[in-house]
Amino acid sequence: MHRRESSFELLRLVLMFLIIIHHSIVHGMGLTGLVWDKTLPMHFSEWEKPVATIVNCMCICAVNCFVLISGYFSIKFNIKKLISLLITVVIYTFCLCTVYNLAIGNIKGAISRMMIFSHPTYWFVNTYIYLTVFAPLINLMFEKMSKRFQIFFIVSLLFISCYLGFIWLNPLNPNGYNLIQFILMYSIGRFICYYPLRISKIASFILYLVPSVITGVFMFLLWQTGHLGRSWQMTGYNNPLIMLAAIGLFMFFSKIRFKSNMINKWASSAFAIYMVQSSLLSNVLYYKLINWLHIEMGGVYG
């Protein structure tokens, strides 16, 4: 229905940059040590805590925004493209995860990494593959069903994700790292496609910035008061503020109109960047480097 402008390709590059920053903070600087992953040291000075949480929360909307883009333009189910994607995932997994496990003598790990559905290295890619299966049904719903039914469908998913999941940690969607969240954001993208939001560029950017900062402030305050679990929960993709930020960022770039072959070409590398940056090899090299630089630069003790 809509021809993709270079602005959306630029958005994809921006989103990948935000994901790299987000991963650098939570994995490289060790912010995941708040609740579960204490592999790398987590040392933040008092002035770094609010900066880290706010910057991190300004980046978290990237995944939701990626799915919004897919919903806006719709996923056309193509078995050849799906097989090609699966082959790409297998190749990247083998080269960046399995080979490393073999090198360190972890045969069990090497084998399990190749079981891409039961032991996924790339949770986003796996969930996106599942979404492609359901996308034709969602597309059909928006083509055939009434606007009232579409709203009911989205509100129902919001109830599951935001109320039951984000607030009460219901196992249906406790954090947004699952298919239900992807279907929700894809559906919102389809809805925006059919019923465009009349919102200015400035208002769109505010819709991105304000919820992101509010989320970061709450995350910091919960961290300071010892509510570590709730602090980490603010980073969930089913946080309604994070979802609003994703919509705001998407709408901001939708107001930009330009065409650039260079941007389009660069954007085609976004998937490869994600695969490399989220690989096991990146975990043991890149994140350790970020952690070392963070400590050596002296801010954590200053």
Identify the domain containing residue 147 by its residue range.
Answer: 6-296
Looking at residue 277, its pLDDT comes to 87
Cα angle: 173, vertex 174, 180; to 5 degrees = 15
Looking at residue 296, its pLDDT comes to 81
Is residue 92 in a domain? yes
Is residue 257 in a domain? yes
Is residue 238 in a domain? yes
Looking at residue 279, its pLDDT comes to 87
Looking at residue 285, its pLDDT comes to 86
Measured from the Cβ of residue 10, the count of other Cβ atoms closer than 10 Å reads: 18
Q: Going residue by residue through the chain (302 aa), what tens digit of pLDDT does each one get?
A: 455 679 999 999 999 999 999 999 999 998 998 887 777 778 888 899 999 999 999 999 999 999 999 999 999 988 998 999 899 999 999 998 998 889 889 899 889 888 988 888 899 999 999 999 999 999 999 999 999 999 999 999 999 999 999 999 999 999 999 999 999 999 999 999 999 999 999 999 999 999 999 999 999 999 999 999 999 999 999 999 999 999 999 999 999 999 999 999 999 888 898 998 888 888 888 988 998 888 887 654 44
Q: How far is CA 174 from CA 96, 123, 153, 169, in A?
A: 29, 15, 19, 4
Looking at residue 140, its pLDDT comes to 97
Is residue 301 in a domain? no
Is residue 71 in a domain? yes
Looking at residue 4, its pLDDT comes to 62
Question: In terms of C-beta density within 10 A (0-12 exposed, 13-18 middle, 19 or more buried), how is residue 271 classed?
Answer: middle
Half-sphere exposure of 27 (CA within 13 A, CB side): 18
Q: How far is CA 278 from CA 59, 73, 120, 285, in A?
A: 16, 26, 11, 11
Is residue 153 in a domain? yes
Is residue 302 in a domain? no
Is residue 192 in a domain? yes
Number of domains in the chain: 1
Looking at residue 3, its pLDDT comes to 53
Looking at residue 26, its pLDDT comes to 93
Residues 6+ apart with CB under 8 A from 58: 18, 209, 212, 213, 216, 245
Looking at residue 43, its pLDDT comes to 80
